[in-house]
Amino acid sequence: SKGSSLAFGQVVIGPPGSGKTTYCQGMQEFLGRIGRKVTVVNLDPANDSLPYQCSLDIAELITLPDVMEDLKLGPNGGLIYCMEYLEANCDWLQEKLATSRGHYYLFDCPGQVELYTHHNALKNVFAQLAKWNFRLAAVHLVDSHYCTDPGKFISVLCTSLSTMLHVELPHVNVLSKMDLIEQYGKLAFNLDYYTEVLDLSYLVDHLASDPFFRNYRRLNEKLVEVIQDYSLVSFVPLNVQDKQSMRQVVQAVDKANGYSFGDQEHRSLEALMSAAVGADFHFTSTLAVQEKYVQSQDKALEEEAMDL
């Protein structure tokens, strides 16, 4: 039947250094422990060091160093060529994926932002996967250190919104490396302000205290208006080393790609109700991370007081 031929998975995207490969490794281990058969697909032709067990590697088709050497292209142009080459050889991808049909898929994608905001090659590959009955959700990773800088956070919101509109997949934005957030500096607001993207006018006011950004207040107000008018962007906090945090992300992704509504594994009444009413706004996960963050800040202040 058509329902039994469905395949579910995640398209892991995000800027360079946001933790995509580490996420795929952690998610592969986590899903394996809860009984899912996981296939990781590396679609990054520049990733030559894979810490996870990779079932399908784009390096079998094309690699970035070869393209740069043969066609005399730079890294950005070479990466775009690789994605266009993959799009032109989707039959190769279909043949390789057929060997692991019935598994849960993690697609580890390149880190070039333009591929998800302007270029159409990967978008067309995702559309082709949908035609093959793949039900995918885009997991967009953003480094949590951007929360400590209001200007960068507004930029991240614009990038996330542009990616959501361009990729055209169910979307889950994730603040990665939450275990390191206390090292980045003190947040201007509580963590839930950033995860739920609350009233951004406060962020514009905070920016106005900087002499440089004061001259661009009107521009920042218009950018914030665009983000709030769409009202699409929110974030799930993630610490890959924390099981509860991973579970929250899995729940959000399963709702997005429809896995929660399938019969692939046992589903509790609580999980079904949460998926049905959409009442889980990640408050619990955000609160837990916020408590850890506040405790670490308090501990640091105590240590400074003792040193004085």
Tens digit of each residue's pLDDT (9 = 90 or more) over 51-97: 988 999 999 999 999 999 999 999 999 999 999 999 999 999 999 99
Average pLDDT, the chain: 85
Between 176 and 181, whose confidence is greater?
Answer: 176
Q: How confident is the model at residue 269 (pLDDT cuts 50, 70, 90)?
A: very low
Please indicate, yes or no, if residue 308 is contained in any of the structural domains. Answer: no
pLDDT of residue 4: 47
Assign 199 a pLDDT band (cuts: 50, 70, 90).
Answer: confident
Does one domain contain both 294 and 206? Answer: no
- Does residue 270 sit within a domain? yes
- Regarding whether 208 and 296 lie in a shared domain, the answer is no
Pair 189, 223 in one domain: no
Residues 119 and 228 grouped into a single domain: no
> Would you tell me how many other CB atoms lie within 10 Å of the CB of residue 269?
7
User: Does one domain contain both 113 and 159?
Assistant: yes
pLDDT at 279 (0 to 100)? 43
Length of the chain: 308
Flag whether pLDDT at 8 surpasses 90. yes
Question: Do residues 290 and 193 touch, judged by C-beta distance below 8 A?
Answer: no
**In a shared domain, residues 115 and 174:** yes
Residue 305 lies in a domain: no
Number of domains in the chain: 2
Task: Please tell me whether residue 40 adopts helix, strand or coil conformation.
Answer: strand
**Among 144, 148, 153, 147, which Cα is nearest to 220's?**
153
Residue 48 has what pLDDT?
Answer: 81
Residue 157: which domain range?
Answer: 7-197+233-300
Residue 16 contacts residue 75 (beta carbons within 8 Å): no
Return all residues near 94 (Cβ < 8 A) that are at least 6 apart: 132
| Interhelix angle 243-257/269-277, nearest 10 degrees | 60
Q: Could you tell me if 115 and 183 lie in one domain?
A: yes
Residue 264 and residue 218 share a domain? no
Report the alpha-carbon distance of residue 221 to residue 207 in Å, rounded.
11
Q: What is the pLDDT of residues 144-157, one digit of tens each?
A: 988 888 889 999 99
Q: What was the pLDDT predicted at 298?
A: 59
Question: 2 lies in a domain?
Answer: no
Does residue 176 share a domain with residue 218?
no
Summarize the confidence of residues 150-173 as an average pLDDT: 93
CATH number, domain of 162, equals 3.40.50.300
**pTM attached to this predicted model:** 0.84
Per-residue three-class SS string for 239-302:
CCCCHHHHHHHHHHHHHHHCHHHCCCCCCCHHHHHHHHHCCCCCHHHHHHHHHHHHHHHHHHHH
Q: What percent of the chain has pLDDT over 70?
A: 84
Residues 278 and 252 in one domain: yes
User: pLDDT tens for residues 106-131?
Assistant: 999 999 999 999 999 999 999 999 99
* Cα gap 183→296, rounded to integer Å: 10
